[in-house]
Chains A and B, each alone.
Chain A
Amino acid sequence: MPKVTYTSHAGDTRTLDGAAGESVMQTAVRNGVPGITGECGGVLSCATCHVFVDETDLDRCPPMNELEDEMLDGAAQDREPNSRLSCQLVLSDDLDDLHVTTPEFQD
Protein backbone atom coordinates (compact mmCIF):
# COMPACT_ATOMS: atom_id res chain seq x y z
CA MET A 1 0.00 0.00 0.00
CA PRO A 2 1.65 3.27 -1.07
CA LYS A 3 2.36 5.73 1.72
CA VAL A 4 2.34 9.52 1.75
CA THR A 5 3.86 11.75 4.42
CA TYR A 6 2.30 15.18 4.85
CA THR A 7 4.14 17.89 6.76
CA SER A 8 2.16 20.97 7.67
CA HIS A 9 3.44 24.52 7.42
CA ALA A 10 3.82 24.42 11.22
CA GLY A 11 5.94 21.25 11.01
CA ASP A 12 3.39 18.59 12.09
CA THR A 13 3.92 15.34 10.24
CA ARG A 14 1.42 12.59 9.37
CA THR A 15 2.09 9.45 7.37
CA LEU A 16 -0.94 7.83 5.73
CA ASP A 17 -1.68 4.71 3.73
CA GLY A 18 -2.96 5.61 0.31
CA ALA A 19 -4.19 3.29 -2.40
CA ALA A 20 -2.80 2.69 -5.85
CA GLY A 21 -4.78 4.87 -8.25
CA GLU A 22 -5.68 7.39 -5.55
CA SER A 23 -4.13 10.86 -5.68
CA VAL A 24 -2.17 12.57 -2.91
CA MET A 25 -5.08 15.06 -2.74
CA GLN A 26 -7.70 12.31 -2.37
CA THR A 27 -5.72 10.54 0.34
CA ALA A 28 -5.47 13.83 2.24
CA VAL A 29 -9.15 14.73 1.89
CA ARG A 30 -10.29 11.19 2.81
CA ASN A 31 -8.25 11.40 6.02
CA GLY A 32 -9.02 15.01 6.87
CA VAL A 33 -5.47 16.27 6.47
CA PRO A 34 -5.64 20.02 7.12
CA GLY A 35 -3.94 22.21 4.54
CA ILE A 36 -5.36 20.52 1.43
CA THR A 37 -8.82 21.57 0.23
CA GLY A 38 -9.34 19.92 -3.17
CA GLU A 39 -12.43 22.00 -3.91
CA CYS A 40 -12.92 20.78 -7.49
CA GLY A 41 -12.33 17.10 -6.77
CA GLY A 42 -9.30 16.74 -9.01
CA VAL A 43 -10.20 18.17 -12.42
CA LEU A 44 -7.66 21.04 -12.37
CA SER A 45 -10.09 23.89 -11.98
CA CYS A 46 -9.46 25.21 -8.45
CA ALA A 47 -5.75 25.15 -7.41
CA THR A 48 -6.58 24.36 -3.76
CA CYS A 49 -4.49 21.20 -3.41
CA HIS A 50 -1.12 22.90 -3.76
CA VAL A 51 1.82 21.07 -2.13
CA PHE A 52 5.61 21.36 -2.06
CA VAL A 53 7.18 18.03 -2.97
CA ASP A 54 10.38 17.04 -1.17
CA GLU A 55 13.32 17.72 -3.48
CA THR A 56 14.42 14.08 -3.26
CA ASP A 57 11.02 12.87 -4.51
CA LEU A 58 10.53 15.41 -7.26
CA ASP A 59 12.11 13.38 -10.07
CA ARG A 60 9.81 10.43 -9.36
CA CYS A 61 6.67 12.49 -9.91
CA PRO A 62 4.90 12.44 -13.29
CA PRO A 63 5.68 15.43 -15.51
CA MET A 64 3.53 18.52 -15.11
CA ASN A 65 1.06 19.26 -17.89
CA GLU A 66 0.29 22.74 -19.19
CA LEU A 67 -3.02 23.06 -17.34
CA GLU A 68 -1.50 22.20 -13.96
CA ASP A 69 1.31 24.66 -14.67
CA GLU A 70 -1.19 27.46 -15.39
CA MET A 71 -3.36 26.66 -12.38
CA LEU A 72 -0.36 26.74 -10.04
CA ASP A 73 0.05 30.41 -10.91
CA GLY A 74 -3.32 31.03 -9.25
CA ALA A 75 -2.61 29.10 -6.03
CA ALA A 76 -3.16 31.06 -2.83
CA GLN A 77 0.45 30.78 -1.71
CA ASP A 78 3.06 31.64 -4.35
CA ARG A 79 4.48 28.65 -6.18
CA GLU A 80 8.03 27.39 -5.76
CA PRO A 81 10.11 25.22 -8.11
CA ASN A 82 8.93 22.11 -6.20
CA SER A 83 5.24 23.08 -6.27
CA ARG A 84 2.66 20.61 -7.57
CA LEU A 85 -1.10 20.23 -7.47
CA SER A 86 -1.54 17.06 -5.44
CA CYS A 87 -4.56 15.88 -7.46
CA GLN A 88 -2.09 15.15 -10.25
CA LEU A 89 0.17 12.96 -8.09
CA VAL A 90 -1.45 9.54 -8.42
CA LEU A 91 -0.03 6.90 -6.08
CA SER A 92 1.25 3.60 -7.41
CA ASP A 93 3.84 0.96 -6.58
CA ASP A 94 6.35 3.25 -8.27
CA LEU A 95 5.11 6.48 -6.71
CA ASP A 96 5.25 5.30 -3.11
CA ASP A 97 6.63 6.84 0.10
CA LEU A 98 6.13 10.38 -1.13
CA HIS A 99 6.89 13.35 1.16
CA VAL A 100 5.02 16.62 0.67
CA THR A 101 4.67 19.84 2.68
CA THR A 102 1.37 21.72 2.67
CA PRO A 103 1.36 25.50 2.27
CA GLU A 104 0.30 27.90 5.00
CA PHE A 105 -3.02 28.56 3.24
CA GLN A 106 -5.02 27.32 0.21
CA ASP A 107 -7.48 30.19 -0.11
Chain B
Amino acid sequence: MSVIDKPVIDFDHWSPRYRANWEQLAADFHATGQPLAWSPHHDGFWVLADWAAVHHVASDWETFTSVNDVDGTENGGLGQVIPRQPYRLFLGESDPPLHTGRRKLETPFFTPKALRRWRPVTRRFLAEALNSVIETGRADLIDDILVPTTARTTLHVLGYDTGAWRDPADVAHKGTFLTYDDPGYPHGQQKRMREAFREMLTARSKAPTGDLISALATGLVEGSPLSLDEAESMMNALVFGGFDTTVSATASALIWLDQHPAEAARVREDAAYRANAIEEFLRVRPPVTHLSRTAVKDTELLGQKITKGERVMMWLAATNRDPRHFPNPDVIDLERDNARDNVSFSAGHHRCLGSPLAKVEMNEMLTTIGAHLADMKVDHSAVSAYPTFGAVIGYTEVPVTFTPGKPLPLDETE
Protein backbone atom coordinates (compact mmCIF):
# COMPACT_ATOMS: atom_id res chain seq x y z
CA MET B 1 0.00 0.00 0.00
CA SER B 2 1.41 3.37 -0.95
CA VAL B 3 1.28 6.50 1.16
CA ILE B 4 -1.39 7.95 -1.10
CA ASP B 5 -3.88 5.28 0.00
CA LYS B 6 -3.54 6.22 3.61
CA PRO B 7 -6.16 8.39 5.27
CA VAL B 8 -4.18 11.59 5.88
CA ILE B 9 -4.61 14.21 8.58
CA ASP B 10 -2.86 17.58 8.84
CA PHE B 11 -1.90 17.04 12.46
CA ASP B 12 1.00 18.58 14.37
CA HIS B 13 0.69 18.47 18.16
CA TRP B 14 3.45 21.12 18.45
CA SER B 15 1.58 23.70 16.35
CA PRO B 16 -0.24 26.82 17.60
CA ARG B 17 -3.35 25.37 15.94
CA TYR B 18 -3.16 22.31 18.15
CA ARG B 19 -2.67 24.38 21.29
CA ALA B 20 -5.68 26.55 20.45
CA ASN B 21 -8.05 23.85 19.19
CA TRP B 22 -6.98 20.40 20.38
CA GLU B 23 -10.40 19.53 21.78
CA GLN B 24 -12.11 20.39 18.49
CA LEU B 25 -9.44 18.48 16.55
CA ALA B 26 -10.13 15.46 18.76
CA ALA B 27 -13.89 15.72 18.19
CA ASP B 28 -13.39 16.09 14.43
CA PHE B 29 -11.05 13.09 14.37
CA HIS B 30 -13.62 10.91 16.12
CA ALA B 31 -16.36 12.22 13.82
CA THR B 32 -14.57 10.49 10.92
CA GLY B 33 -15.59 7.20 12.53
CA GLN B 34 -12.05 5.90 12.08
CA PRO B 35 -9.67 7.66 14.48
CA LEU B 36 -6.50 6.43 12.75
CA ALA B 37 -4.81 8.58 10.11
CA TRP B 38 -1.37 9.41 8.78
CA SER B 39 0.22 12.75 9.62
CA PRO B 40 2.97 13.94 7.27
CA HIS B 41 4.60 16.06 10.01
CA HIS B 42 7.80 15.09 11.88
CA ASP B 43 8.86 12.50 9.25
CA GLY B 44 5.36 10.97 9.24
CA PHE B 45 3.42 9.00 11.83
CA TRP B 46 0.07 7.37 12.44
CA VAL B 47 -2.25 9.23 14.80
CA LEU B 48 -4.47 6.90 16.84
CA ALA B 49 -7.29 7.81 19.24
CA ASP B 50 -9.45 4.69 19.36
CA TRP B 51 -9.69 3.62 23.02
CA ALA B 52 -9.58 -0.15 22.41
CA ALA B 53 -6.87 0.08 19.72
CA VAL B 54 -4.70 2.24 21.99
CA HIS B 55 -4.87 -0.49 24.64
CA HIS B 56 -3.89 -3.02 21.99
CA VAL B 57 -0.90 -0.97 20.80
CA ALA B 58 0.22 -0.23 24.37
CA SER B 59 0.05 -3.92 25.32
CA ASP B 60 1.44 -5.65 22.22
CA TRP B 61 5.09 -4.76 22.69
CA GLU B 62 6.24 -7.54 20.38
CA THR B 63 4.64 -5.63 17.47
CA PHE B 64 4.82 -2.04 18.78
CA THR B 65 8.15 -1.35 20.45
CA SER B 66 8.88 1.43 22.93
CA VAL B 67 12.63 1.24 22.31
CA ASN B 68 14.48 4.39 21.30
CA ASP B 69 17.33 2.80 19.38
CA VAL B 70 19.55 5.89 19.38
CA ASP B 71 22.76 4.08 18.45
CA GLY B 72 21.18 1.75 15.90
CA THR B 73 22.15 -1.48 17.62
CA GLU B 74 18.70 -2.76 18.58
CA ASN B 75 15.35 -2.93 16.75
CA GLY B 76 15.24 0.46 15.08
CA GLY B 77 12.58 1.77 17.46
CA LEU B 78 12.09 5.52 17.44
CA GLY B 79 11.08 6.05 21.07
CA GLN B 80 8.08 7.37 22.93
CA VAL B 81 8.07 11.00 21.84
CA ILE B 82 7.43 12.61 18.44
CA PRO B 83 9.70 14.10 17.20
CA ARG B 84 12.25 11.56 18.29
CA GLN B 85 14.44 12.59 21.23
CA PRO B 86 18.24 12.17 21.08
CA TYR B 87 18.40 11.24 24.78
CA ARG B 88 17.15 7.76 25.61
CA LEU B 89 14.95 7.05 28.61
CA PHE B 90 16.06 3.57 29.59
CA LEU B 91 12.87 2.58 31.45
CA GLY B 92 10.18 4.19 29.30
CA GLU B 93 11.98 3.45 26.05
CA SER B 94 12.57 -0.26 26.55
CA ASP B 95 10.54 -3.47 26.16
CA PRO B 96 10.16 -6.59 28.33
CA PRO B 97 12.03 -8.43 29.71
CA LEU B 98 14.56 -5.59 30.26
CA HIS B 99 11.75 -3.16 30.99
CA THR B 100 10.17 -5.52 33.53
CA GLY B 101 13.50 -5.97 35.30
CA ARG B 102 14.20 -2.24 35.43
CA ARG B 103 10.67 -1.39 36.56
CA LYS B 104 10.93 -3.97 39.34
CA LEU B 105 13.61 -1.85 41.01
CA GLU B 106 11.15 1.04 41.36
CA THR B 107 7.80 -0.67 42.03
CA PRO B 108 8.37 -1.25 45.80
CA PHE B 109 8.43 2.54 46.25
CA PHE B 110 4.90 2.99 44.84
CA THR B 111 2.95 0.17 46.51
CA PRO B 112 0.00 0.90 48.81
CA LYS B 113 2.25 0.27 51.84
CA ALA B 114 4.88 2.69 50.52
CA LEU B 115 2.22 5.34 49.85
CA ARG B 116 1.34 5.34 53.54
CA ARG B 117 4.83 6.72 54.14
CA TRP B 118 4.58 9.32 51.38
CA ARG B 119 1.15 10.81 52.21
CA PRO B 120 2.32 12.57 55.42
CA VAL B 121 5.41 13.76 53.53
CA THR B 122 3.22 15.40 50.87
CA ARG B 123 1.07 16.92 53.61
CA ARG B 124 4.09 18.42 55.30
CA PHE B 125 5.51 19.93 52.08
CA LEU B 126 2.06 21.24 51.13
CA ALA B 127 1.65 22.91 54.53
CA GLU B 128 5.10 24.49 54.21
CA ALA B 129 4.24 25.78 50.73
CA LEU B 130 0.91 27.20 51.94
CA ASN B 131 2.63 28.84 54.90
CA SER B 132 5.03 30.61 52.58
CA VAL B 133 2.10 32.61 51.11
CA ILE B 134 -0.83 32.33 53.53
CA GLU B 135 -0.25 35.69 55.25
CA THR B 136 0.10 37.63 51.99
CA GLY B 137 -3.31 37.08 50.41
CA ARG B 138 -1.90 36.28 46.97
CA ALA B 139 0.06 33.50 45.32
CA ASP B 140 0.92 31.79 42.08
CA LEU B 141 -0.53 28.30 42.47
CA ILE B 142 2.12 26.84 40.17
CA ASP B 143 5.41 28.27 41.48
CA ASP B 144 4.43 28.84 45.11
CA ILE B 145 2.39 25.74 45.94
CA LEU B 146 2.06 22.96 43.37
CA VAL B 147 5.66 22.79 42.14
CA PRO B 148 7.35 22.86 45.59
CA THR B 149 4.90 20.33 47.07
CA THR B 150 5.18 17.78 44.29
CA ALA B 151 8.88 18.33 43.51
CA ARG B 152 9.89 17.84 47.13
CA THR B 153 7.67 14.77 47.50
CA THR B 154 9.21 13.10 44.45
CA LEU B 155 12.73 13.96 45.60
CA HIS B 156 11.96 12.59 49.06
CA VAL B 157 10.85 9.29 47.49
CA LEU B 158 14.09 9.21 45.48
CA GLY B 159 16.21 9.89 48.55
CA TYR B 160 17.46 13.24 47.22
CA ASP B 161 17.97 16.32 49.40
CA THR B 162 14.49 17.88 49.37
CA GLY B 163 15.98 21.25 50.30
CA ALA B 164 17.75 21.26 46.92
CA TRP B 165 14.50 21.01 44.93
CA ARG B 166 14.84 24.10 42.77
CA ASP B 167 17.17 22.68 40.11
CA PRO B 168 15.11 19.51 39.50
CA ALA B 169 11.89 21.57 39.61
CA ASP B 170 13.23 23.96 36.96
CA VAL B 171 14.42 21.06 34.84
CA ALA B 172 11.03 19.34 34.94
CA HIS B 173 8.85 22.46 34.70
CA LYS B 174 10.73 24.80 32.35
CA GLY B 175 12.21 21.86 30.46
CA THR B 176 8.67 20.79 29.58
CA PHE B 177 7.40 24.01 28.04
CA LEU B 178 10.56 25.76 26.78
CA THR B 179 12.37 24.60 23.68
CA TYR B 180 15.99 23.59 23.93
CA ASP B 181 17.19 26.82 22.25
CA ASP B 182 15.10 29.16 24.43
CA PRO B 183 17.30 31.54 26.49
CA GLY B 184 15.34 30.50 29.61
CA TYR B 185 15.86 26.75 29.08
CA PRO B 186 17.33 25.31 32.30
CA HIS B 187 20.62 24.04 30.82
CA GLY B 188 22.66 24.92 33.89
CA GLN B 189 20.19 23.39 36.32
CA GLN B 190 20.01 20.25 34.18
CA LYS B 191 23.79 19.88 34.17
CA ARG B 192 24.01 20.34 37.96
CA MET B 193 21.15 17.93 38.59
CA ARG B 194 22.58 15.22 36.37
CA GLU B 195 26.00 15.54 37.97
CA ALA B 196 24.41 15.34 41.43
CA PHE B 197 22.46 12.23 40.39
CA ARG B 198 25.60 10.50 39.14
CA GLU B 199 27.51 11.35 42.30
CA MET B 200 24.69 10.05 44.45
CA LEU B 201 24.40 6.83 42.45
CA THR B 202 28.12 6.21 42.87
CA ALA B 203 27.97 6.95 46.60
CA ARG B 204 24.89 4.77 47.18
CA SER B 205 26.40 1.85 45.29
CA LYS B 206 29.05 1.74 48.04
CA ALA B 207 26.76 2.62 50.95
CA PRO B 208 23.08 1.92 50.13
CA THR B 209 20.46 3.51 52.39
CA GLY B 210 17.24 1.79 51.29
CA ASP B 211 15.97 4.68 49.16
CA LEU B 212 15.10 4.60 45.47
CA ILE B 213 18.51 5.91 44.43
CA SER B 214 20.08 2.99 46.33
CA ALA B 215 17.75 0.54 44.60
CA LEU B 216 18.93 1.84 41.21
CA ALA B 217 22.56 1.89 42.34
CA THR B 218 22.63 -1.68 43.65
CA GLY B 219 19.78 -3.56 41.91
CA LEU B 220 20.27 -6.23 39.29
CA VAL B 221 18.44 -6.45 35.97
CA GLU B 222 18.68 -9.82 34.22
CA GLY B 223 21.59 -10.57 36.56
CA SER B 224 23.59 -7.40 35.87
CA PRO B 225 23.74 -4.04 37.63
CA LEU B 226 22.47 -0.97 35.78
CA SER B 227 25.11 1.14 34.06
CA LEU B 228 25.54 4.66 35.40
CA ASP B 229 23.86 6.00 32.22
CA GLU B 230 20.88 3.69 32.67
CA ALA B 231 20.45 4.50 36.36
CA GLU B 232 20.83 8.24 35.80
CA SER B 233 18.32 8.10 32.94
CA MET B 234 15.82 6.38 35.24
CA MET B 235 16.30 9.11 37.84
CA ASN B 236 15.84 11.81 35.21
CA ALA B 237 12.64 10.09 34.08
CA LEU B 238 11.31 10.08 37.64
CA VAL B 239 11.95 13.81 37.81
CA PHE B 240 10.50 14.54 34.34
CA GLY B 241 7.50 12.27 34.67
CA GLY B 242 7.22 12.50 38.40
CA PHE B 243 5.77 15.81 39.27
CA ASP B 244 5.29 18.46 36.62
CA THR B 245 2.52 16.26 35.22
CA THR B 246 0.86 16.22 38.65
CA VAL B 247 1.23 20.00 38.83
CA SER B 248 -0.55 20.39 35.47
CA ALA B 249 -3.36 17.98 36.34
CA THR B 250 -3.95 19.65 39.72
CA ALA B 251 -3.85 23.16 38.25
CA SER B 252 -6.41 22.17 35.59
CA ALA B 253 -8.68 20.79 38.31
CA LEU B 254 -8.35 23.85 40.55
CA ILE B 255 -9.04 26.24 37.64
CA TRP B 256 -12.23 24.36 36.75
CA LEU B 257 -13.36 24.05 40.38
CA ASP B 258 -12.88 27.79 40.87
CA GLN B 259 -15.76 28.30 38.43
CA HIS B 260 -17.87 25.51 39.96
CA PRO B 261 -18.16 26.24 43.69
CA ALA B 262 -20.77 23.58 44.50
CA GLU B 263 -18.61 20.85 42.99
CA ALA B 264 -15.53 22.36 44.68
CA ALA B 265 -17.14 22.09 48.11
CA ARG B 266 -18.16 18.49 47.48
CA VAL B 267 -14.67 17.63 46.22
CA ARG B 268 -13.22 18.88 49.50
CA GLU B 269 -15.73 17.04 51.68
CA ASP B 270 -16.66 13.76 49.97
CA ALA B 271 -13.74 11.34 49.51
CA ALA B 272 -15.48 8.96 47.10
CA TYR B 273 -16.74 11.85 44.94
CA ARG B 274 -13.24 13.37 45.02
CA ALA B 275 -11.60 10.12 43.88
CA ASN B 276 -13.89 9.92 40.85
CA ALA B 277 -13.54 13.65 40.17
CA ILE B 278 -9.76 13.21 39.98
CA GLU B 279 -10.26 10.50 37.33
CA GLU B 280 -12.58 12.78 35.34
CA PHE B 281 -10.15 15.71 35.54
CA LEU B 282 -7.41 13.38 34.31
CA ARG B 283 -9.67 12.24 31.46
CA VAL B 284 -10.55 15.71 30.15
CA ARG B 285 -7.27 17.47 31.00
CA PRO B 286 -4.59 14.81 30.66
CA PRO B 287 -1.14 16.31 31.22
CA VAL B 288 0.63 14.04 28.71
CA THR B 289 -0.56 14.65 25.16
CA HIS B 290 0.79 11.56 23.49
CA LEU B 291 3.13 8.56 23.67
CA SER B 292 4.43 6.73 20.67
CA ARG B 293 5.43 3.26 19.51
CA THR B 294 7.24 1.94 16.42
CA ALA B 295 5.96 -1.08 14.47
CA VAL B 296 8.72 -3.69 14.30
CA LYS B 297 6.77 -5.84 11.83
CA ASP B 298 3.99 -5.34 9.29
CA THR B 299 0.62 -5.49 11.00
CA GLU B 300 -2.95 -4.26 10.83
CA LEU B 301 -4.78 -1.79 13.03
CA LEU B 302 -8.48 -0.96 12.66
CA GLY B 303 -8.31 -2.59 9.23
CA GLN B 304 -5.45 -0.36 8.14
CA LYS B 305 -2.09 -1.79 7.11
CA ILE B 306 0.77 -0.59 9.32
CA THR B 307 4.21 -1.13 7.83
CA LYS B 308 7.31 -2.13 9.72
CA GLY B 309 9.24 0.96 10.82
CA GLU B 310 6.20 3.27 10.95
CA ARG B 311 5.42 5.15 14.11
CA VAL B 312 2.06 5.02 15.85
CA MET B 313 1.26 7.94 18.11
CA MET B 314 -1.21 7.14 20.86
CA TRP B 315 -2.99 10.48 21.12
CA LEU B 316 -3.91 10.04 24.76
CA ALA B 317 -5.78 13.32 25.09
CA ALA B 318 -8.12 12.38 22.23
CA THR B 319 -8.39 8.74 23.26
CA ASN B 320 -9.96 10.01 26.47
CA ARG B 321 -12.63 11.61 24.24
CA ASP B 322 -13.48 8.44 22.27
CA PRO B 323 -17.31 8.63 22.15
CA ARG B 324 -17.53 4.86 21.75
CA HIS B 325 -16.10 4.47 25.23
CA PHE B 326 -17.05 7.75 26.92
CA PRO B 327 -20.57 8.93 25.96
CA ASN B 328 -20.78 12.76 25.57
CA PRO B 329 -17.02 12.85 25.88
CA ASP B 330 -16.67 16.65 26.00
CA VAL B 331 -18.96 16.96 29.02
CA ILE B 332 -17.13 17.17 32.36
CA ASP B 333 -19.13 14.89 34.64
CA LEU B 334 -17.39 14.34 37.97
CA GLU B 335 -19.66 11.36 38.60
CA ARG B 336 -18.99 9.69 35.24
CA ASP B 337 -19.19 5.91 35.74
CA ASN B 338 -16.12 4.97 33.75
CA ALA B 339 -13.95 8.06 34.25
CA ARG B 340 -11.23 5.78 35.61
CA ASP B 341 -10.89 4.18 32.16
CA ASN B 342 -8.92 7.26 31.03
CA VAL B 343 -5.53 6.53 29.46
CA SER B 344 -3.84 9.62 30.88
CA PHE B 345 -1.25 7.42 32.59
CA SER B 346 -0.93 5.35 29.38
CA ALA B 347 -1.76 1.64 29.40
CA GLY B 348 -0.09 -1.76 29.24
CA HIS B 349 3.37 -2.47 30.63
CA HIS B 350 4.45 1.16 30.52
CA ARG B 351 1.46 2.49 32.45
CA CYS B 352 2.76 5.16 34.82
CA LEU B 353 4.28 3.55 37.88
CA GLY B 354 3.79 6.69 39.93
CA SER B 355 0.06 7.11 39.25
CA PRO B 356 -0.94 6.10 42.82
CA LEU B 357 1.45 8.75 44.22
CA ALA B 358 0.12 11.36 41.78
CA LYS B 359 -3.41 10.60 42.96
CA VAL B 360 -2.40 10.86 46.63
CA GLU B 361 -0.85 14.26 45.90
CA MET B 362 -3.88 15.46 43.92
CA ASN B 363 -6.14 14.25 46.72
CA GLU B 364 -4.21 16.21 49.33
CA MET B 365 -3.92 19.36 47.23
CA LEU B 366 -7.58 19.45 46.12
CA THR B 367 -8.69 18.99 49.73
CA THR B 368 -6.27 21.30 51.50
CA ILE B 369 -5.57 24.26 49.22
CA GLY B 370 -9.19 25.44 48.99
CA ALA B 371 -9.77 24.74 52.66
CA HIS B 372 -6.81 26.79 53.90
CA LEU B 373 -6.63 29.66 51.42
CA ALA B 374 -9.95 31.17 52.48
CA ASP B 375 -12.15 32.64 49.70
CA MET B 376 -9.51 31.73 47.13
CA LYS B 377 -10.23 33.09 43.62
CA VAL B 378 -8.30 32.33 40.47
CA ASP B 379 -7.51 35.38 38.34
CA HIS B 380 -8.59 33.73 35.11
CA SER B 381 -7.51 36.68 32.96
CA ALA B 382 -3.91 36.16 34.15
CA VAL B 383 -3.78 32.36 33.85
CA SER B 384 -1.02 31.49 31.43
CA ALA B 385 -0.79 28.11 29.72
CA TYR B 386 2.30 26.44 28.25
CA PRO B 387 3.33 28.01 24.92
CA THR B 388 2.98 24.58 23.27
CA PHE B 389 0.95 21.49 24.19
CA GLY B 390 3.09 19.04 22.16
CA ALA B 391 4.32 17.15 25.20
CA VAL B 392 2.20 18.34 28.10
CA ILE B 393 -0.92 20.43 28.60
CA GLY B 394 0.07 22.65 31.51
CA TYR B 395 0.40 26.12 32.98
CA THR B 396 3.20 28.57 33.63
CA GLU B 397 1.14 30.82 35.90
CA VAL B 398 -2.12 30.53 37.84
CA PRO B 399 -2.42 33.63 40.07
CA VAL B 400 -4.87 33.49 42.98
CA THR B 401 -6.00 35.87 45.71
CA PHE B 402 -7.45 34.91 49.09
CA THR B 403 -8.16 36.25 52.57
CA PRO B 404 -4.85 36.22 54.44
CA GLY B 405 -4.70 33.65 57.24
CA LYS B 406 -2.44 32.31 59.94
CA PRO B 407 0.30 29.76 59.15
CA LEU B 408 -0.65 26.12 59.64
CA PRO B 409 0.95 24.36 62.60
CA LEU B 410 3.32 21.94 60.91
CA ASP B 411 3.34 19.25 63.60
CA GLU B 412 -0.43 18.77 63.23
CA THR B 413 -0.15 18.02 59.55
CA GLU B 414 1.62 14.71 60.03
- What is the total of A-B residue contacts with beta carbons within 8 Å? 51
Count residues of A near B (Cβ-Cβ below 8 Å).
18
B110: chain A residues within 8 A (beta carbon)? 45-46
Q: Which of A40, A70, A73 contacts B351 (CB 8 A)?
A: A40
B304 at the interface (CB under 8 A from A): no
Is A46 in contact with B349, judged by CB distance below 8 angstroms?
no
A16 at the interface (CB under 8 A from B): no
- For residue B185, give the distance in angstroms from its CB to the closest CB of chain A: 32
Q: A39-B356, A43-B349 are in contact. Are A75 and B107 (CB under 8 A)?
A: no
A41 at the interface (CB under 8 A from B): yes
A40 to B103, alpha carbons, bound, how many Å? 13
Is B347 in contact with A41, judged by CB distance below 8 angstroms?
yes
> Using an 8 Å CB-CB cutoff, how does the interface string of B106-121 with A read, 1 for contact, 0 for none?
0110111111100000
B348 at the interface (CB under 8 A from A): yes
- For residue A41, give the distance in angstroms from its CB to the closest CB of chain B: 6
A46 to B358, alpha carbons, bound, how many Å? 13
Is B113 in contact with A45, judged by CB distance below 8 angstroms?
no
A101 to B188, alpha carbons, bound, how many Å? 54
Interface residues of B in 263-287 (CB under 8 A from A): none
A106 to B115, alpha carbons, bound, how many Å? 11
Q: A39-B356, A41-B347, A41-B351 are in contact. Are A47 and B112 (CB under 8 A)?
A: yes
Sample of 27 A–B contacts (CB below 8 Å): A39-B355, A40-B351, A41-B347, A41-B351, A43-B349, A43-B351, A44-B107, A45-B103, A45-B107, A45-B110, A45-B351, A45-B353, A46-B110, A46-B355, A46-B356, A47-B111, A48-B356, A67-B100, A70-B104, A70-B107, A73-B108, A74-B107, A74-B111, A74-B113, A74-B114, A76-B113, A76-B116
Listed in ascending order, the chain B residues whose CB lies under 8 Å from chain A are 100, 103-104, 107-108, 110-116, 347-349, 351, 353, 355-356
